[in-house]
Structure 1
Amino acid sequence: MKTAQEILNNPFMNKGTAFTMEERKALNLIGALPPTVQTLEEQVERTYKQFCKKANNQEKRIYLMTLFNTNRILFYALMAQHVVEFMPIVYDPVVADAIRQYDELFMKPQDAGFLSIDHPEDIETSLINAAGGRDIRLIVVTDAEAILGIGDWGVNGVAISIGKLMVYTAAAGINPDNVLPLVLDVGTNNKQLLDNPLYLGNRHERVRGQAYYDFVDKFVTTAEKLFPHLYLHWEDFGRPNAAAILKKYQEKITTFNDDIQGTGIVALAGILGALNISKEKYTDQKVMIFGAGTAGAGIAHQIFEEFMQQGLSEEEARKHIYLVDKQGLLFEDTNDLTEAQKPFVRQRSEFENSASLATLYNAVKAIHPSVLIGTSTQPGKFSEEVVKEMATAVKRPIIFPLSNPTELAEAKAEDLIRWTDGHALVATGIPSAPVEYKGVTYNIGQANNALMYPGLGLGVIASTAKVVNQTLLSAAAHALGGIVNSDQPGAAVLPPVDKLTEFSEHLAIVVAQNAIQQGITKKKINNAQEAVRQMKWLPKYTE
């Protein structure tokens, strides 16, 4: 029999004031709690009032993390009622401040695992200890080299994995007892951390090359052995490592990289949603992506794969995609091309004056894309001049300034609507208020990866899919893009984040059904809807 303290200190077991008198007697909790027995609903009301009293977002986050460490069911019952309000607190953007202050604020590891490249012999022991005997179905792992907006933060980046899993559970109902946040501590090149006496990670620069990949491989092999039903989600790895890791494992295990694939799927879903509104064909589109880093190249790849899903050859599909980076339009002879960029470079012979295409405006003028996507983090680059030039040749231009936070966005939604006289189909990377223009309310979709990855993950886990292949991702994108109300004037190209829990289940069912149809499940599943509903967890107390 566990002691009262062991029960009350275990967030998976603790009910706090909701323990009934019968439970208190059976578990030796008499006298260890105030005498009043509360319902979960009463606890949610009380904790939300406490949350609202916190002075700023950082204090609100600390409060929520304390609740998470204390009572997992109460935390998720509370978050379920306030998903839109809480997501920026537990994840982006407030998580960035939590990462910066991780060493100073550290009190409890929040059931995360820490794997050190200095001790690869401890990987199996570390995973077993972190799992604590739980049936782990989902791992979110980071090496924290490329945390969006703030870069390399070493072991502090574990907060990213923790936050991501909170969204998985809150949005899609993945059982928190089945998840494990991890950080691969391979060192850091952040001098601020290395010089900080409070820093909790390995005090050396990042390990590169074969030693790094051997460490990653040992982690993957060990995790697959220990957790046979595992879905492995990679988060915020550096550009070269992210692509190399995904390429190595994506056809061997059930795995997914949100920065490469998730961003791409959401952008693709936005395009499909826009085309549902404009009634135009996908295969008629010319796509220009401004900012050809991990996110931009990942979007290009998903769009390219969709062209092939819709019947184009590889050669034909590539002709529809143009990458523009700091050097301008990327050509076959552009210096320092990454492996992810090379499939989409252009030939100089395609243009009369290729040297002039070093600016975004000139590239838009020469190509007249029907879709313009920004992942550049260069504010204001989708200028009035650029947008009006695009609109001269395109009736319903699809324009997605996806960079965030707000100060890094390529354009504001209201400007895009005004500059195109209401014809632009817009999604942004940040939350954007509806735009009133000439008597129409234009709702602006947010291309937030949270629209996709929770439902995708639930569908993959419920179906026991062996791999996350392109057909599966395409089905997910079409399901998300198909939710838009295409007949409503000013309709958004993506569903709203405040409906996240509703459409995540729909998305999961579509994904599970597609996996079943493809025959890529580890075990026989007859009914996708039933499989998803059986897997879905709800934050409710049981005796």
Structure 2
Amino acid sequence: MPERDYEQDTTIGAGTLRIRARGRAVLSNPMTNRGTAFTAEQRKALDIDGLVPTGFTTLENQTRRVYEQFRNTGTMLGKFLTLNALRDRNEVLFYYLLTGHLEEMLPVIYTPTIGEAIERFSHTYNRPRGVFLSIDQPELVERSLLNYGLGPDDVDLVCVTDSEGILGIGDQGIGGIQIAIGKLSVYTAAAGIHPRRVIPVVLDVGTDNLGLLSNEMYLGERHSRVRGERYDEFVELFVRTVEQQFPNAMIHWEDVGTGNAHRILNRYRDEVCTFNDDIQGTAAVVLAALLAAVDVTGHDLDEHRIVVFGAGSAGIGIANLVRDTMLRTGAAETEREAYERFWAIGLQGLYVDDDATLLDFQKPYARAREDVAGWELERRGHIGLMDVVRHVKPTILIGTSTKGGAFSREVVEEMHRHSPRPIIFPLSNPTSRAEATPADLLEWTDGQALIATGSPFAPVDHGGVRHTIAQSNNALIFPGLGLGVAACRARVVTEGMIAAASQALAGLVNAWRPGAPLLPGIGDLRLVSATVAIAVAQEAAAEGVADAPLSDPIQQVYERMWQPRYPDIEAI
């Protein structure tokens, strides 16, 4: 059933659904279908008498039924496919189920299960969802986006990936569309962005994954990944087409490769409403946890010495936002003074200014060679993590390296010798790649470590205190950011707006209580998203980048959040 066969105001939480279609066409569209929940009057008006069982079922009872089906599915991939099939059948029911069990189902519709779904995309492909843009057919970009059926004022978010840096599994070609779909599902469940105001997109520029290229089932372009000028021209065509067709949409970049992510963000951030979750979203949620932890230590942010271990896109993104926060608050008077608080470590060890392998976005964090000339090193010619910890005496240690166990007992105990309340964030996913476990960190610091992790960990009992471990999950930031941008019609996403999101998130916790987490839990995502959205919209207005500043932020944000409930129906 085409989109024109129904009408609904998707900018409000509970708009009337006006249906022009009749008969089986009503049941074939996931936004108009409600199955056995159609009343007798609605069945008659829409010509679906006899097309569904005669019994009437409430949304709540439907949810009980599909939740039982979900629980009875044996594998995580099976659960993912079960939820996918439900969304293709009845979108309201899907989101009502998801919002009611968000903490349980987030790992299914997003990380870690979505990684397997992406790898299996060409084998499990069923109903198309999203827009597939090929670098070999640039002339179809405009037409393809228009074919999605949404008008200039109907789109809040376009989530796009080129699939080169998918989670921890790398280049996944056309299967990356699933990461965009999953991300937008979280926007809807957590922040109430209407599911018909978003577009998932994959830029199919080829793949360097030989397993995909040699698989006869693979559905993407069968050539190596295109790079350089032709890639940049394709990205430019995509951005300008979105800007023209959907002038109010924020472009959300997801899992773009390290070599392109910072470059694309820097290219467009000042002229297009754009956001990179791997860089800015990760940084924002980590900054929130840092602000909460720093408050506990009693020392201002600029007094801390920060080591970033695994300083790629995510690690440098975190450092950049913390640096900008220091400058914005006046904690650091100059940019150079702010940079001096950081020590960045990569595969070749500590970043130093004579390292020719550093990328442009990493170079500002390189230390002068003379600064480390007198250091005694564990291994000649290599300045490793232990060397940095021993000489720098950091108070904050951030891990984005994917090197499981890198924060060893020796490293942590050395850090704790000079830092009574060490702030240690092993952020790498999945759990097997975490730089340390919370249980070990608490044991090695006698319960004093302030911890946030990338993967979920169970509470840890130590010294008679139960420590609830904060998960630095981007879902605590990006849904609310997108909602705030949409609500106030922000023209760009500024660093001030991202910092405001972090501060709002940090304000929702009381980290002073023994064992308290540094961040809210996933179960509070609707509250978190609304709070973040208000802060983002207010900051956008203060910076003069909001085309529709909010006069009553709480009410307007609340009214903007779509509720997964069956709306009133009008047959037209």
TM-score tier (shorter): over 0.9
5+ residue gaps in structure 2?
1-19
The answer for the alignment partner of 1:346 in structure 2 is 367
For the Cα contact (< 8 Å) 1:463–1:532, is it kept in 2? Answer: no
Question: Distance in 1 between the 2:553 and 2:232 partners?
Answer: 36
1:130 matches 2:148: yes
Q: Match for 2:36 among 12, 17, 21?
A: 17
The answer for the alignment partner of 1:301 in structure 2 is 320
- Shift of residue 523 of structure 1? 2.7
For the Cα contact (< 8 Å) 1:283–1:310, is it kept in 2? Answer: no
The answer for the alignment partner of 1:391 in structure 2 is 416
The answer for the alignment partner of 1:438 in structure 2 is 463
The answer for the alignment partner of 1:120 in structure 2 is 138
Matches within 5 A, 1:249-260: 249-260=268-279
1:7 matches 2:26: yes
For the Cα contact (< 8 Å) 2:537–2:549, is it kept in 1? Answer: no
- Shift of residue 3 of structure 1? 3.6
Question: Distance in 2 between the 1:365 and 1:414 partners?
Answer: 23
Report how many residues are paired. Answer: 542
For the Cα contact (< 8 Å) 1:512–1:532, is it kept in 2? Answer: no
Question: Distance in 2 between the 1:502 and 1:19 partners?
Answer: 31
1:193 matches 2:212: yes
The answer for the alignment partner of 2:254 in structure 1 is 235
1:106 matches 2:125: yes
The answer for the alignment partner of 1:478 in structure 2 is 503
1:30 matches 2:49: yes
Q: Would the alpha carbon gap of residues 360 and 524 (structure 1) be closer, same or farther in structure 2, given more than 3 Å must change?
A: closer
5+ residue gaps in structure 1?
none
Greater mean alpha carbon deviation, residues 276-285 or residues 17-26: 276-285
Letter in 1 for 2:266: K
Question: Distance in 1 between the 2:296 and 2:549 partners?
Answer: 38
The answer for the alignment partner of 1:467 in structure 2 is 492
- Shift of residue 530 of structure 1? 2.6
Question: Distance in 1 between the 2:526 and 2:505 partners?
Answer: 13
Q: Would the alpha carbon gap of residues 54 and 286 (structure 1) be closer, same or farther in structure 2, given more than 3 Å must change?
A: same
2:203 aligned counterpart, secondary structure: strand
The answer for the alignment partner of 1:509 in structure 2 is 534
1:406 matches 2:431: yes
Question: Distance in 2 between the 1:276 and 1:480 partners?
Answer: 14
Matches within 5 A, 1:483-498: 483-498=508-523
1:316 aligned counterpart, secondary structure: helix
Matches within 5 A, 1:353-392: 353-354=374-375, 356=377, 358-392=383-417
The answer for the alignment partner of 1:533 in structure 2 is 558
1:210 matches 2:217: no
The answer for the alignment partner of 2:65 in structure 1 is 46
- Shift of residue 380 of structure 1? 0.8
Question: Distance in 2 between the 1:392 and 1:170 partners?
Answer: 44
- Shift of residue 354 of structure 1? 4.5
Matches within 5 A, 1:51-62: 51-62=70-81
1:198 aligned counterpart, secondary structure: coil
1:140 aligned counterpart, secondary structure: strand
Question: Distance in 1 between the 2:344 and 2:255 partners?
Answer: 22
- Shift of residue 504 of structure 1? 1.3
- Shift of residue 353 of structure 1? 2.4
Question: Distance in 2 between the 1:541 and 1:443 partners?
Answer: 37
Greater mean alpha carbon deviation, residues 506-515 or residues 282-291: 506-515
TM-score (norm 2): 0.93
Question: Distance in 2 between the 1:144 and 1:252 partners?
Answer: 24
For the Cα contact (< 8 Å) 1:429–1:446, is it kept in 2? Answer: yes
For the Cα contact (< 8 Å) 1:304–1:318, is it kept in 2? Answer: yes
- Shift of residue 103 of structure 1? 0.7
Question: Distance in 2 between the 1:395 and 1:508 partners?
Answer: 35
Q: Which has the higher contact order (CA 8 A, sep 6+)?
A: 2
Letter in 2 for 1:136: V
1:400 aligned counterpart, secondary structure: strand
The answer for the alignment partner of 2:288 in structure 1 is 269
- Shift of residue 511 of structure 1? 1.1
Deviations 1:5-45 (Å, cap 9, x if unpaired)?
A: 21111111111111111111011100100001111111111
For the Cα contact (< 8 Å) 1:73–1:540, is it kept in 2? Answer: yes
Question: Distance in 2 between the 1:21 and 1:204 partners?
Answer: 54
Question: Distance in 2 between the 1:488 and 1:2 partners?
Answer: 56
For the Cα contact (< 8 Å) 1:463–1:531, is it kept in 2? Answer: no
Question: Distance in 2 between the 1:299 and 1:371 partners?
Answer: 12
Greater mean alpha carbon deviation, residues 518-527 or residues 163-172: 518-527
TM-score (norm 1): 0.98
Question: Distance in 1 between the 2:354 and 2:504 partners?
Answer: 39
1:425 matches 2:450: yes
Aligned identity (percent) is 46
For the Cα contact (< 8 Å) 2:491–2:545, is it kept in 1? Answer: yes
Letter in 2 for 1:120: P
Question: Distance in 1 between the 2:181 and 2:516 partners?
Answer: 34
For the Cα contact (< 8 Å) 2:132–2:202, is it kept in 1? Answer: yes
Root-mean-square deviation (Å): 1.3
For the Cα contact (< 8 Å) 2:538–2:550, is it kept in 1? Answer: no
1:65 matches 2:84: yes
